[in-house]
Amino acid sequence: MINYKELVILNFDGDGLGINASEARAGLGYDVRVRLDGQEYDAKLGKHCLWVPGIESKFVISLNGRPESVAWARGRNKEMIDSYKFISKNKKEIMSTLVTEYTLFTLLSEKKMSPCPGEQIKVKTFISSIFYPDYLDAKGIYGFIFPDANKLPAGKWNFDKFKQLFIDTGKIEASPGALGDLNKEGNVVNNYLIDVRRSIFDMMRVIV
C-alpha cells in the first residue's frame, strides 16, 4: 500500500451542482490541478474517478468513506449528502468497491484488454469542493496505480471477445446497461478498457 498524507483538488468548484454524466466519463471529464503531499499535478476529474497521469494513479471519488459520483446532485444520495448524513462507519464500503474494480482490471489485463493495476493507494485526507466548499474529508481517498494506456503498446480490447471469454462463461456479471456503456467514447483508450463503472450502484463484478 502506498500512503500519502493529503490530496487537494485546487481548481474545481462543484457548487453543489455535480457534473453532467455525459461530460464526465473517463477521458472526457474536467481538467483540474491537484496537490498531492505538496507536489502539484495536472489531473482529469471524471464521473467516478480522479486520474493523475503524472504518477499514473487512479482514485475512486468518495465522501466520508463512501463511494459517490461527482454528479451526486442528480443521484439518489442527494438528500443524505445535503443533510450531512452520507457517512461510512468503516472502511469496508470503499474498500469493497475498490477491490471489485481492481480485480476486474487485473482479470482483463491478463488478456491485454485493460492496463494492469499496480499497488493500492491510501491518502489520509482529501480536500475538494465536489460535495461541499473546501471540504476536508478526514476519511481520505483510495486508489491504485494504473498505467497510462496511451503509453502502452496497443491493447486487445474487443467487446465480442470480452463477452465470449467473461460474460458467457459466467466469470464476470454485468447488467445490460453496464455492458452497453463499455464501448462509449472515453471508456476505451488505445484499445484498452479503462473504465468499468457505469454508476456507483451498477458496475461489473467478478464471479470466479
Is there a domain that residue 167 lies in? Answer: no
- List Cα–Cα distances, 119 to 29, 30, 70, 145, 150, in angstroms: 24, 25, 24, 6, 20
Is there a domain that residue 193 lies in? Answer: no
Residue closest to 142 by CA, chosen among 125, 127, 130, 129: 125
What mean pLDDT do residues 149-167 have? 95
Is there a domain that residue 157 lies in? Answer: no
| Residues of the domain holding 10 | 2-152
Confidence category of residue 200, pLDDT binned at 50, 70, 90: low
- Specify the number of domains making up the chain: 1
DSSP code for 203: B
Is there a domain that residue 166 lies in? Answer: no
Is there a domain that residue 197 lies in? Answer: no
Is there a domain that residue 101 lies in? Answer: yes
For residues 121, 127, 128, 134, the Cα torsion angle rounded to the nearest 10 degrees is 170
Confidence category of residue 18, pLDDT binned at 50, 70, 90: very low
Q: State the Cα–Cα distance between residues 66 and 139, nearest whole angstrom.
A: 9
Q: State the Cα–Cα distance between residues 160 and 155, nearest whole angstrom.
A: 15
Q: Are 104 and 172 in contact (CB under 8 A)?
A: yes
Beta bridge partners of 45: 30, 50
Confidence category of residue 23, pLDDT binned at 50, 70, 90: very low
Q: What angle do CA 16, 195, 103 make, to 5 degrees?
A: 115
- pTM of the predicted protein model: 0.87
Mean pLDDT of the chain: 87
Is there a domain that residue 171 lies in? Answer: no
User: Which three cell numbers, joined as nine digits, stand for 110?
Assistant: 491478463
Is there a domain that residue 85 lies in? Answer: yes
Write the pLDDT tens digit of every residue in 28-66.
Answer: 578 899 999 999 999 999 888 999 999 999 999 999 999
User: Which three cell numbers, joined as nine digits, stand for 106?
Assistant: 487485473
pLDDT at residue 22 tops 80:
no
- For the ranges 23-27, 51-55, 143-147, 173-177, the lowest mean pLDDT is seen at 23-27
User: For 37, left (φ over 0), alpha (ψ -120 to 50), or beta?
Assistant: left
Q: What angle do CA 69, 16, 21 make, to 5 degrees?
A: 40
What mean pLDDT do residues 162-185 have? 90
Residue 70: is it exposed, middle or buried by C-beta count within 10 angstroms (0-12/13-18/19+)? buried
Residues in CB range of 34: below 8 A, 6 or more apart: 7, 8, 9, 10, 40, 41, 43, 50, 52
